[in-house]
Amino acid sequence: MKKQDKIWLDGKFVDWDQAQVHILTHTLHYGFGVFEGTRCYKCVDGSAIFRLDEHLQRLYNSAQILTLEIPYAQEDLEAASCEILRVNKMEEGYLRHIVFIGEGEMGLGTMTNPIRTAIIAWAWGAYLGEEGLKKGIRLKTSSYARLPVQVFPTKAKAVGNYVNSILAKREALKAGYDEALMLDLSGYVAECSGENIFLVNNQTIRTTPESSSILNGITRKSVIQLARDQGYTVLETTFPRDEVYTADEVFLTGTAAEVTPVREVDNRQIGAGKAGPATLALQAAFFDVVKGKNKKYKQWLTYL
């Protein structure tokens, strides 16, 4: 990763190399923290962060679910999110917000350690590869189920939840695939390790409902709206993986992955084995919106 100049840490801009934490940082040991990922795009008329309000709202919701109190007002983090990009003279990039428990006591129940907050910006290209974005990626169903709501708060973007995601991702990569398809405990499709999933059949698009063991993706919500505005019927419904195999098109959404086509699942070719027309249309619509080319969705952009 290319270093940038500054990182926002606990209210101050500190040098990239100085933004360090103590080895006794509580979250490092137990994974109890929350984070966000959002992107800033170079638009036709400046630079803008995509759905910053929604991402920050999810950060505060995640913290509320974990009973962590973020020691800053949302407006402060909004201003700092724009400022970190300006300070680093970045016209575009990925933004990571993280709220974690600092050092002090090591007991699980400590309530006295400081709650720390950081915002980091870095350059991040296509998460699943430029070629994947164009031609589609290959998925493998994971042997790990997505965390059930009885066990983990899936609506919180919590640090520790990603042990489950990383196990699935590593398993898929080691088997030669690009990404893991994760099922819920009942065997129905949930999502991928860091993306939501969509199926296309004719003019109907399906994605797993918010009531599933999924993170309520902000890209998911945006693409649902874009698809409905383009005249597609979008159903939020559960489906088994059989229906993924037989879909005309499959694609994934996420801040990092943007809108990525899927060309193969568990050694079965999907549709024509390349990015399908609906996927390409929605991908193009998404990129137009995030790059400020479609004024209809201007309210989704926070210009720096």
The single residue among 253, 260, 279, 302 that binds ligand PLP, judged by CB under 6 A, is 253
- Asked if 165 is part of the footprint of ligand PLP (rule: CB under 6 A), the reply reads yes
In the complex with ligand PLP, the residue whose CB is nearer, 113 or 191, is 191
State the number of binding residues for ligand PLP (CB under 6 A): 14
CB burial string 248-283: b at 16+ within 10 A, e below? bbbbbbbbbbbbbbbbbbeeeebbeeebbebbbebb
Query: Which has the closest alpha carbon to 47: 55, 38, 56, 36?
Result: 38
Tell me how far, at minimum, the Cβ of 223 lies from ligand PLP, in Å. 9
Tell me how far, at minimum, the Cβ of 215 lies from ligand PLP, in Å. 4
Burial of residue 96 (number of CB atoms within 10 Å: 0-12, 13-18, 19+): middle
Scanning residues 215 to 244, which ones bind ligand PLP (CB under 6 A)? 215, 217-220
Residue of 2, 6, 42, 157 marked active site: 157
The single residue among 178, 184, 191, 249 that binds ligand PLP, judged by CB under 6 A, is 191
In the complex with ligand PLP, the residue whose CB is nearer, 113 or 217, is 217
- Asked if 93 is part of the footprint of ligand PLP (rule: CB under 6 A), the reply reads no
- Asked if 212 is part of the footprint of ligand PLP (rule: CB under 6 A), the reply reads no
- Asked if 169 is part of the footprint of ligand PLP (rule: CB under 6 A), the reply reads no
- Asked if 207 is part of the footprint of ligand PLP (rule: CB under 6 A), the reply reads no
- Asked if 142 is part of the footprint of ligand PLP (rule: CB under 6 A), the reply reads no
The single residue among 25, 62, 142, 196 that binds ligand PLP, judged by CB under 6 A, is 196
Residue 135 annotated to the active site: no
Distance, in Å, from the CA atom of 95 to the CA atom of 50, rounded to the nearest integer, reads: 10
- Asked if 179 is part of the footprint of ligand PLP (rule: CB under 6 A), the reply reads no
The single residue among 27, 113, 142, 255 that binds ligand PLP, judged by CB under 6 A, is 255
Tell me how far, at minimum, the Cβ of 145 lies from ligand PLP, in Å. 13
The single residue among 254, 261, 276, 292 that binds ligand PLP, judged by CB under 6 A, is 254
Tell me how far, at minimum, the Cβ of 156 lies from ligand PLP, in Å. 11
Tell me the catalytic residues.
157
Q: For binding to ligand PLP (CB under 6 A), which residues are involved?
A: 37, 165, 191, 194-196, 215, 217-220, 253-255
